[in-house]
Amino acid sequence: MSSSANTPSKPAAKTTGLHIGVTRPGVAKVDPIVTIDGVSRRFGGLTAVDVEHLEIPRGAITALIGPNGAGKTTLFNLLTGFDKPDTGSWSFAGKSLAGIPAFKVAQMGQVRTFQLTKALSLLTVLENMKLGAKDQRGEKFLYSIFPFLWKPKEAEIEAKAMELLKRFKLDAKKDDFAASLSGGQRKLLEMARALMTDPVLVMLDEPMAGVNPALTQSLLEHVLDLKTQGMTVLFVEHDMHMVRHIADWVIVMAEGRVVAEGPADEVMKNPAVIDAYLGSHQDADLGTITGRITLPKGKK
């Protein structure tokens, strides 16, 4: 997966000029689409997320990276309404999302995919796609009684679903049960279904995890296409080759905190990032690196 053969042959054009001032954790962005302030989430005695301030740039591809247990997926869950924080506030496109359930967050234009795909196995590929559409008239009781009130909208939704399935090369599978798809095909289906909502921000949780190398190229191209089509992308990923190739901006988490952010090449050279990933200070507690613990002078 980490082989360069799995990334597009030509480097992707990067968006620059995204931040204001010196690059550091919590640096202000020129045009942030998401703003996070003082968000924390604890599970018993474990602090999974503790983000003082973070902004996600609009119209760019941002990678959220960090070692296992860094809090990346928990942060995703908080931002999309699948979990509730203990403290803090955050906004999407200038609107507060505090207390808003996941389905309403999606309707507002912020959608996500999951590390473990959530396709409904006993529905067909096309039925999964149609479920992703919003403003379906047939969902309302009164409309459902009279087919002529919802049939035109149903035809419109199906046409849109088929167009997306063709783009993702899944149209030949439209009548197959989602359970019959490979892991990579399920990732494609989940990404395609997310686009049924006409999103503004697409959040992808490890889109390459468990994907056959034969489909990695296709997934990468689709992620890049999202930006080309005017969407903002925030994704969690462990494949650093992929991050370097397509990410305009990189945010690094460790022990629930943001320890670094900036352009990919700059971030990869940051000592805090090297420490978090490689443990170059193997005799030091990671808490000292993240600032969570202050050791007495003379100790390392």
Outline where the chain has alpha helix (H).
72-79, 102-107, 125-131, 141-145, 147-167, 183-194, 213-228, 240-246, 264-267, 271-278, 286-290
Q: What is the DSSP letter of 282?
A: T
**pLDDT score, position 114:** 83
Q: Is 257 helix (H, G, I), strand (E, B) or coil?
A: strand
**pLDDT score, position 208:** 80
Residue with tokens 């808003």: 100
Q: Which domains does the chain possess?
A: 4-119+199-290 (3.40.50.300), 122-180 (no CATH)
- Give the integer Cα–Cα distance in Å for 141 and 147: 11
**pLDDT score, position 212:** 76
pLDDT in tens, 68-127: 889 999 999 999 999 999 999 999 999 999 889 998 999 899 999 887 777 778 899 999
**pLDDT score, position 300:** 46
For 128, phi and psi rounded to 5 degrees?
-60, -40
Containing H/E element for 164?
A: helix 147-167
- Give the integer Cα–Cα distance in Å for 289 and 277: 12
- Give the integer Cα–Cα distance in Å for 140 and 50: 41
Per-residue pLDDT of the chain (300 residues; tens, 9 = 90+): 344 444 444 556 789 999 999 999 999 999 999 999 999 999 998 999 999 999 999 999 999 999 888 999 999 999 999 999 999 999 999 999 988 999 899 989 999 988 777 777 889 999 999 988 877 665 666 666 767 666 777 888 899 999 999 998 999 999 999 999 988 888 889 889 989 988 999 999 888 877 777 777 778 888 899 999 999 999 998 888 888 889 999 999 999 999 999 998 888 888 878 877 755 443 444 344 344 445 555 544
Tokens of 213: 């190398």
Instruction: Confirm if 259 and 273 have CB atoms less than 8 A apart.
Output: yes
- Give the integer Cα–Cα distance in Å for 274 and 284: 13
- Give the integer Cα–Cα distance in Å for 282 and 276: 10
**pLDDT score, position 268:** 85
- Give the integer Cα–Cα distance in Å for 255 and 287: 8
Q: Where are the beta strands (DSSP E) in the chain?
A: 32-43, 46-57, 61-65, 87-92, 95-96, 110-112, 201-205, 232-236, 249-254, 257-262
pTM: 0.81
